[in-house]
Amino acid sequence: MTNTARPTHTREIHLAARPVGAPVATDFAFVERELPPLADGEILVRNTWMSVDPYMRGRMDDAPSYIPPFALGAALEGSAVGEVIESRAATIAVGTLVSHFAGWREHAIVDAATATPIDPELAAPYQFLSVLGTTGLTAYAALTDAAPVRPGDTVFVSAAAGAVGSVAGQIARALGAKRVIGSAGGPVKARKLLDVFGFDAAIDYRGGDLTEQLADAAPDGIDVYLDSVGGEHLRAAVEAMNQHGRIALVGAISGYNGDTDRPAPDLYLAATKELTLRGLLVTSYLPLFAEYIPRAASWLADGTLRTAETVYEGLDQAPAAFLGVLTGANTGKMLVRLE
Ligand code: NAP
């Protein structure tokens, strides 16, 4: 089936140079390219939203990791949603809304087997890149499996005004936490933790000593910590943990631009407190979507879960959005609207 309005060309963003330290605008190149005819089994998607995520910084380095580096001179990749405007796949019809992994471009040709139809009745399409996507799933996997929350726990969440953190604080509460503490950069975000995302206590990590602020916020200690930051945050959390505490190692954004001069946690303290520190990759939890999506959708519907997005407009703004997510320009999920 062919749509008569099929574009002949599209624009995409390539990695022009590997950043040294923080990325800069010249690390990205805008490229116009022809859209070839579809092969059997492919679909053409008009992307309407794309995600920018902190982990993409690691893929810009030419270093071995859990996911291959971005190639120089090729289009960047990442999660996106859009509308199928041409299909040579029996399984996905024109007009279907899908999520897929060919973001950073206005149109994408993808193998239909790698695209997932999304249900617009369940939530707005962009929410499949945020609360109903891998960011929400990361929070859920962290707090139900890697560092499970038990009723009555005190839970600490870092990067708490961000995509994973803002959802995690609310999920912790829904799972029975007694006290939920978040940290974020600056007084405005700290206020939002209390007023928008329902945290009991908020720490502005830029506003004073983190260890002291955490001790004040958690006088009875912490049982669960979701670590998105590493460095000073992880060190302070280990100090504040209760016996048999659980830590989900989700990310370490304070080091993503290569800052190696960061404090390390006291692992002897972790040993004597009998802590569990467990890493997680959300890609290992994709089957958990089947449990998470209906649960999160009902939490969204009944107001248990409130979400926020920071939206940059148009492909031209995608590099700025990405630089912004690394420096805290976002509250909730950082997204780029392409429609
Ligand atoms: P996000 O929290 O929406 O955005 C990143 C936030 O990190 C920024 O808004 C900023 O908030 C904070 N930040 C930046 N530099 C910091 C620093 N030096 N110290 C403290 N905070 C800093 O991003 P996200 O997508 O939800 O990801 C959060 C974390 O989870 C990241 O570490 C990411 O890599 C990780 N993650 C891991 C997985 C997995 O599978 N393991 C999956 C998804 C995400 P402030 O303004 O508060 O500083």
For residue 61, the CA-to-ligand 1 centroid distance in Å is 18
Q: What is the pLDDT of residue 230?
A: 97
Q: How confident is the model at residue 4 (pLDDT cuts 50, 70, 90)?
A: low
Atom in ligand 1 nearest the alpha carbon of residue 253:
32
CB 181 within 8 A of CB 151: no
**Topology at the third CATH level for domain 134-283:** Rossmann fold (3.40.50)
pLDDT digits (tens, 9 = 90+) for 238-276: 999 999 999 999 999 999 998 878 899 999 999 999 999
Q: How confident is the model at residue 3 (pLDDT cuts 50, 70, 90)?
A: very low
Q: For residue 194, what are the contacts with CB-CB under 8 A and spacing of at least 6?
A: 200, 201, 202
Distance CA 193, CA 111 (A): 40
Taking Cα atoms as reference points, which of 229, 264, 315, 259 lies closest to residue 22?
A: 259
Between the alpha carbon of residue 281 and those of residues 71, 89, 250, the distances in Å are 22, 31, 7
For residue 127, the CA-to-ligand 1 centroid distance in Å is 18
Helix (H, G, I), strand (E, B) or coil at 60: coil
Q: How confident is the model at residue 322 (pLDDT cuts 50, 70, 90)?
A: very high
Q: Is the CATH code 3.90.180.10 the one for domain 9-130+307-337? A: yes
With tokens 């190692």, the residue in question is: 249
Query: What is the token pair recorded at 273?
Result: 């407190």
Does the C-beta of 162 come closer than 6 Å to ligand 1?
yes
The sign of the torsion formed by the CA atoms of 62, 68, 70, 72 equals positive
Query: What is the token pair recorded at 268?
Result: 């002897």
Does the C-beta of 325 come closer than 6 Å to ligand 1?
yes
Q: What is the pLDDT of residue 51?
A: 98
Does the C-beta of 254 come closer than 6 Å to ligand 1?
yes
Domain locations in the chain as residue ranges = 9-130+307-337, 134-283
Query: What is the token pair recorded at 40?
Result: 């059997």
Rounded to 10°, the helix 231-240/210-217 angle is 40
For residue 151, the CA-to-ligand 1 centroid distance in Å is 26
